[in-house]
Structure 1
């Protein structure tokens, strides 16, 4: 493994690697880790960690973490939320994020941004990333893992956790894309229409109206507060291709049939949605991407222990919302950690 200073600065490192999917194709992914200086020093002092000395940049009173978080971004996205990493590190976790293949740091010339023909193709890189996380520990023990996913990354995380029982100790989903707008009937109709294109012309582009409303609400190049790299997170997202859309609809159908995730699950969503072809001021304080009521209902299909938190004023990524709103989201996440993350 070759770790290099990440685009987010000295407190982050990145490592690109290759993993072969079930189809045998090697794909590039990038693991990012939060490495504040105090945590680096703690890795050098296992005897101090064992004695319970502080190992966080903020002095949060945690020893060398035996818990880790792996974050999966959404579609047409990448990891950039330093505040989220600092939150988890402050709670006594090692924080990692995965830029999956054809996204963000893992984009390569000649490939279609955001494209995947089967969500199972992410399995290999997720599994490899978890192995890399375990290999970093001096004691050789894999830390207890919390898997976290946003939007399409939330759908991917849920499906992965269902297929790999016992690996993730907790699952945190931030506005997971578990269902299409409206109803399952619309998903079934869309799947029927897209399937022939996905089978014969999987990389063909499906022409849909381009909207940059969500980007407008988060980017500091528009009306948001977050510095985004437009090459990694395009304002209008990557082109929608038939194979990718078929893969997402297939994954949502699996969720609709019911998963059996054995870990406690937290689902965080906005209190309301705003949709339409034109900008509305309400899009500054709602989910302008997903139908949150549909997601709330579908979340009950994930497993036996599901906690749902609806956060008034939240955007599609609740942890990119206005400061007051995301403070509420972090407080709810902290409460859930206290209840479900057992030392």
Structure 2
């Protein structure tokens, strides 16, 4: 493993993590880092579906607080997607444990950080929560920050209940069958500077129309939700943030800039107690699905609430105060 300059340029570095091969062939993940010299604490960011790490202002915020910043592009996403692979595809979310465990080993044992926060967004939030539940009692993570985590399907309860067994069966019998995608291209358009947004990112790695939606992947999500409903038993403090409202529209609407256009924010908040015994829930007025990509007022709320929580539970001093 060797770190080289990342596609984002200095000060970001990236290293390819070689993982066990699967039915499609070779597999890798990519660990991006922005070290802070002398820092004892670190954060590991895990992106969402149809996504990769590009949110450098998030890294700016953490490094200003004295965190070395790390991000994983999971297998078959972003920097890690290889030509022979089905994009974003896994049959079990526990497959991601391999790259998360290796990233944690590098952060703690190789780079020597003593305290670790894991920050997951959307599907990455679900993945991080499931991983933390499986690692309870081992002392490998000190806290979780979940940004609009994918804790519930964006559909009515009756649809979720009836559709789960069908998706599970299809995922077992025909895991690579492509299903109709419900991804709203207007969400990505609401973010990107070439459309209606303010952010610059690679539209080949985070596509407006998304990647194919595979039955096996969707079945893995359903399985993760079933595990969540049984309770995950996470044994470290958890901060969960979600917008105060959601929007579902097939046409462009300015409200896309002020609501979650991907998941049901109320459902996310309702599932929070299943994560563990110590969960803080914060609702962000005007928040988009990726809360740190929201408009400035909502974004300021996110970082203020994060700082308050970090000070209370991880003893992180606000910028400008003495350690």
Provide TM-score, normalisation by structure 1: 0.87
Matched positions, count = 314
* Residue 39 (structure 2) pairs with residue 7 (structure 1): no
| Contact 2:233–2:277 (CA under 8 A) maintained in structure 1 | yes
Give the Cα–Cα distance (whole angstroms) in 2 for the partners of residues 22 and 211 of structure 1.
Answer: 30
* Aligned match of 1:230: 203
* Aligned match of 1:321: 294
Give the Cα–Cα distance (whole angstroms) in 1 for the partners of residues 150 and 267 of structure 2.
Answer: 10
Structure 2 counterpart of 1:98, from 55, 72, 80:
72
* Aligned match of 1:262: 235
* Aligned match of 1:120: 94
Give the Cα–Cα distance (whole angstroms) in 2 for the partners of residues 234 and 340 of structure 1.
Answer: 36
Structure 1, unaligned runs of 5 or more? 43-63
* Aligned match of 2:27: 27
Structure 2 counterpart of 1:164, from 135, 140, 144:
135
* Aligned match of 1:77: 51
Give the Cα–Cα distance (whole angstroms) in 2 for the partners of residues 256 and 22 of structure 1.
Answer: 29
Shift of 1:187: 2.3
| Contact 2:58–2:292 (CA under 8 A) maintained in structure 1 | yes
Q: Secondary structure at the match of 2:213?
A: coil
- Where in structure 1 do 4 or more consecutive aligned residues deviate above 3 Å? 182-185
Give the Cα–Cα distance (whole angstroms) in 2 for the partners of residues 22 and 299 of structure 1.
Answer: 33
Cα-Cα RMSD: 1.8
Bigger mean CA deviation after superposition, 206-215 or 252-261: 206-215
* Aligned match of 1:110: 84
Instruction: Report the structure number with the largest CA radius of gyration.
Output: 1
Give the Cα–Cα distance (whole angstroms) in 2 for the partners of residues 85 and 309 of structure 1.
Answer: 21
Q: Secondary structure at the match of 1:253?
A: helix
Structure 1 counterpart of 2:285, from 284, 287, 312:
312
* Aligned match of 1:53: none
| Contact 2:184–2:262 (CA under 8 A) maintained in structure 1 | no
* Aligned match of 2:319: none
| Contact 1:69–1:95 (CA under 8 A) maintained in structure 2 | yes
Shift of 1:142: 4.4
